[in-house]
Every structure is written in structure tokens, then in C-alpha cells.
A and B are shown apart, each in its own frame.
Chain A
């Protein structure tokens, strides 16, 4: 697979550390972080500009939470494929995210294998070619 066929990912987290970790863990895979955002509004802006195939979206962020951002993204594009990311993977939170239209959920600390597995499943279910 050539680089230009990689699945494009927008990574959203208020922690620079997490953004760097995600980009590092996706290196050499079929997925590529094409943009990052450190807040919900910035994520929506970048999504509109770049239309990435997947969004990795942190939940616990200042001001606008990831769950609110999920709703904004789905208002922008009902087909947005959003995978929520949080350290607080409580049953209520996971249920809430999936009900609101997130495609899946990843709990921090993110394990490379678990993340690739999850992203691959989301792509397969959505018919995105890998």
C-alpha cells in the first residue's frame, strides 16, 4: 500500500502528549494522522476543511467536551466516523457515545494493537478500503 492510500485520521486531544503518542503509534500502519486539533471547535473546523476518513476524539477536554464535539461533527457530516478516546471508559460514557453515533471507543492508555484493531473494524464496518 502506498502512502497516499492510507486512511486519513484527525486526532483531537487537549494533551500534546497524547497527540504525539497517537501519531507515533500509527506510524507504519495503514492509518495516518493528517491533522491534529486541541479543542472541540478546532476539530470541527479541521474536519470541514480536510474531511478525514476517521476522527479520534478525546472526551475530557476543557470548555467543549468530546461528546459535544461528536454531536457537532455529526451535524456537519452525518457520515463522520468518530472513535472516542478517554481514560474514563465508564459503562455510561461508552453507552452514551455509541448511542450518539460514535463508531467505537478506545480507552487510555492506548495500546497500539487495540487501536489498530478498533480502527480496522470501524473501516471494515463502514466499507472503507484498507
Chain B
């Protein structure tokens, strides 16, 4: 699994230095995105087409969008959409800043974006359909999405979404609960993951890379870390969309000895299932 924000991805691949990343992150505040690179990122233009448009631009001094339409690379509707995004977006994609600052070439950006997008493929259709009418949809969707990624790709568990409901009375509490608190500018919530013993041991076995048969301290520590990674990755992903969340370390509860009190009234619960087990992810807003 490799789900990082694009800058982190480039850093770990050694394509940019940490200083260049910092510079680009700071630069995002002051630079407007050129529509050419926005179009490249969205897969509307190829690098070759961008080069052709730029060549024309140098000769004619026309606007990028006008030339792209004249050359038949973009429709007017696509240009309008890009211009609208340029006007309304306060954040500029990191790749564009790296390109403008000369830290990365357009060919490298194109290649790395393709690889990055491939690695970041998500279960969009399944996840979107389940949460079409849910409040805090973006947060719920991203957390569930990344939880599925973690279980499927890292834990080798085939997990599906059974359904999504609201109301604390609908939360299914299994023996173990891993709860983690999050806070952002306009939102505060707990994410709890409730699992039966068998699934807890499977999660611990994944993390420790050995067969774990007892829910001892080490197994619980490993399970917490499993959830921490899934949730943290969701935070990282949300940060790309402008949602910044702080997180606290996860806590674990054994419901047979410590009842877990759901206090919030605004609760969204997602019923999940593996081939031989059930699990629950609930959000207390």
C-alpha cells in the first residue's frame, strides 16, 4: 500500500529533497495554478500537447485555453471548467509548484503522477454509493475507503460494506473496540472500530508478521497500530482536499469488561464484513 500525499510520495522516492518539498509547500500559498498543468493532472492533456500549446503561445501571445481549443486538444467547456477551478481553488497542486520552481521536469511530473494515481486507486464506486446521503460524507467516505485499503491490501482481508446507518442504537459493538479522537477546524469526532476476537488476532498477526493466537498486550498494541495507520492515512488523504485533522493515539476497550459509552447523538455507523467475520466502524460527531 502506498497512499501518501503527492509530495511525500516524491520525497520517499527520492525525486525531490525535503528542502524542495518544504519550499513547494510554502509556495502553494502564493502561486496560481496554470491551467496546462491542471489539465495534465486531470488527464485532459498530454505533455506533448502542452508543449505544442506553449510553442503557439510564444508565437501568438494568445491565451493557453484559446490555443488548446483551436488545436482541438480541449473543448471550450473543459477550458471553462479549468478556469473556474483556477479561480475557486485556494490551493495549488504540489506538482504544479514543483514544476514552476524547476524542481521537477514536466516529463517526470507526468510519469510520477500516473504512477501515483495508479497506486492511489480507491474503491470509489462501492464507497461512494454507500454514503450518498450521509452527513460529513467526505470524512466518512475517506476513513472507510482507507480502512478497506488497509484490510484488503495490507491485511489481505476481503472486506465489503454491508450498509451504512445513522443513530447510536444501530452501532454493533463486538468484543474489542479501538477508538481514536480527531479534531479539525470545524469538526471533532471519534472513530471507533469494533471487531470480534478472531479479527483482532488477524489484524495483530498482519502487523507482527507472525501467527498471534492470544489477545495479549502486544497483540492489542499491534491492533491499535493497524487502526492508527489506516486512520492516519485517511487524514493524510483528506489533507490533500483541504481538510486538516489532528489525531490522538488510539485507545482500546474490551467491551466484556469495560462498557463503551457512545455519548454523541450524531453517530454514523458502517457495517462491514469479511468472508468469515463482521466488523463495525462508527463515527461519533
Contact = CB atoms under 8 A, between A and B. Distances in A.
B11 A118 contact: yes
Contact of A17 (B1, B21, B94, B221): B221
A67 B5 CA distance: 19
Interface in B3-23: 4-5, 7-8, 11-14, 17-19, 21-22
B249 A94 contact: no
B284 interface: no
Interface in A79-130: 86-95, 98-99, 102-109, 111, 114, 117-118, 121, 125
Contacts of A98: 18-19, 21-22, 25
A35 interface: no
Interface residues of A, number: 36
Interface in A47-91: 60-62, 86-91
Interface stretch (B232-240, B258-266, B274-282): B232-240
Given A20-B208, A60-B247, A95 B26 contact: yes
Contacts, number: 111
B8 A94 contact: yes
Interface in B65-123: 94
Contact of A107 (B12, B14, B17, B19): B12
Contact of A95 (B14, B19, B22, B218): B22
B55 to A, nearest CB: 34
A90 B18 contact: no
B222 interface: yes
Nearest to A118: B12
A114 to B, nearest CB: 4
Interface stretch (B40-48, B128-136, B160-168, B223-231): B223-231
Contacts of B25: 91, 94-95, 98
B187 interface: no
B2 interface: yes
B208 A89 contact: no
Given A15-B228, A99-B22, A60 B4 contact: no
B248 A105 contact: no
Given A105-B8, A121-B14, A17 B236 contact: no
B18 A103 contact: yes
A102 B22 CA distance: 11
A129 to B, nearest CB: 19
A88 B248 CA distance: 11
A88 B236 contact: yes
A104 B230 CA distance: 21
B207 A17 contact: yes
B32 interface: no
B148 to A, nearest CB: 15
A23 interface: no
Contacts of B57: none
B173 interface: no
B245 interface: yes
Given A15-B221, A17-B207, A91-B239, A105 B244 contact: no
A117 B14 contact: yes
Contacts of B244: 90, 92
A85 B22 CA distance: 16
A86 B239 contact: no
Given A87-B228, A89-B8, A107 B236 contact: yes
B249 A89 contact: no
Name which of B1, B207, B238 has the most chain A CB atoms within 10 A of its CB. B207
Nearest to B18: A104
19 contacts: A17-B222, A20-B208, A61-B249, A87-B230, A87-B233, A88-B245, A88-B247, A89-B5, A89-B8, A89-B233, A89-B236, A90-B235, A94-B21, A95-B26, A98-B18, A98-B25, A104-B11, A105-B11, A107-B12
Given A98-B22, A107-B4, 20 more contacts: A15-B221, A15-B224, A16-B218, A17-B218, A87-B233, A87-B235, A88-B231, A88-B232, A92-B239, A95-B26, A98-B18, A98-B21, A105-B11, A105-B18, A107-B236, A109-B1, A109-B154, A111-B2, A121-B14, A125-B17
